[in-house]
């Protein structure tokens, strides 16, 4: 039983292997995770967790799927993080400066404390993309928030009550719908697929073995 650490899950002490993530440690201890998690190695954003280390007063936030346990770690989970999700029709709203004010006016209450950036599980410059949203620079906001996994940890630390993930996804939707250049060749290809132009080719591919598919993939012509 070498390399074991003591962790406290919901106030109860357990000894678990030190190489486990918080999520796997909970399962090792006998907890059945039936909701609030979706992965084991990535960043789906659904397993946001609060913890602190014994003797320290600072509360820390992390994703349970990718954060390893530490000795004397006290762990607690919440059913959800405080993120306000407004309802809108992306086919109706437009990328105006007013739309952000209408849907998420709290972003203009940002005090610049940078707590959102410091707590981001993805290491994003969260306060910066909120600043882009304030100025109506939605394309910049979309790019800066692109790797957001919607865990809501940033919002849990925000004194202004900003719903950062929802602001980011609104900017990305507006960018994709109205700002980013359209890929006309993609529309043409979709129409060709719908017409059945590639049905024979798909049937041929489905009849190939795994090795044949690998060879076909590795020897393909790659556009530059």
4-77 belongs to which CATH class? Answer: alpha beta
Query: What's the confidence (pLDDT) of residue 61?
Result: 86
Average pLDDT over residues 75-102: 89
At residue 223, does pLDDT exceed 90? no
Model-level pTM? 0.74
Collapsed DSSP state (helix, strand, coil) of residue 52:
strand
Residue 110: CA atoms inside 13 Å, Cβ hemisphere, count?
A: 27
Q: Percent of the chain having pLDDT more than 70?
A: 95
Q: How much is the pLDDT for 208?
A: 94
Residue spans in the chain of domains classed CATH 3.10.20.740: 4-77
What is the C-alpha to C-alpha distance for residues 66 and 155, in angstroms, rounded to an integer? 20
Q: Are 25 and 90 in contact (CB under 8 A)?
A: no
Q: How confident is the model at residue 41 (pLDDT cuts 50, 70, 90)?
A: low
Q: 113: which DSSP letter? A: -
Q: What is the pLDDT of residue 37?
A: 66
In the 8-state DSSP scheme, what is residue 27? H
What is the Rg, in whole angstroms, of the alpha carbon atoms belonging to the chain?
Answer: 23
User: Rounded distance, CA 25 to CA 9, Å?
Assistant: 9
Q: What is the mean pLDDT of residues 36-64?
A: 83
Q: Are 69 and 20 in contact (CB under 8 A)?
A: yes
């Amino acid at each position: 039983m070498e390399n074991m650490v003591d962790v406290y899950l919901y106030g109860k002490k357990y000894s678990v292997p030190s190489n486990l993530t918080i999520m796997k440690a909970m399962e090792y201890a006998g907890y059945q995770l039936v909701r609030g998690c979706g992965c084991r190695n990535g960043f789906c954003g659904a397993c946001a967790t609060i913890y602190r280390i014994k003797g320290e007063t600072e509360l820390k936030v992390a994703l349970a799927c990718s954060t390893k346990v530490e000795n004397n770690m006290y762990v607690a989970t919440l059913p959800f993080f405080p993120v306000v999700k407004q309802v809108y029709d992306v086919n109706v709203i437009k990328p105006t400066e007013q739309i952000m004010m209408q849907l998420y006016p709290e972003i203009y209450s940002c005090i610049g404390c940078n707590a959102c950036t410091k707590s981001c599980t993805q290491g994003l410059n969260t306060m910066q993309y909120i600043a882009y949203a304030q100025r109506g620079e939605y394309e910049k906001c979309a790019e800066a928030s692109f790797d957001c996994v919607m865990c809501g940890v940033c919002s849990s630390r925000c004194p202004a009550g900003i719903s950062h993930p929802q602001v980011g996804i609104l900017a990305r939707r507006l960018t994709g719908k109205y700002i980013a250049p359209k890929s006309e060749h993609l529309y043409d290809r979709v129409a060709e697929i719908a017409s059945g132009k590639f049905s024979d080719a798909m049937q041929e591919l489905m009849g190939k073995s795994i090795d044949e598919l690998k060879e076909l993939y590795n020897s393909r012509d790659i556009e530059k």
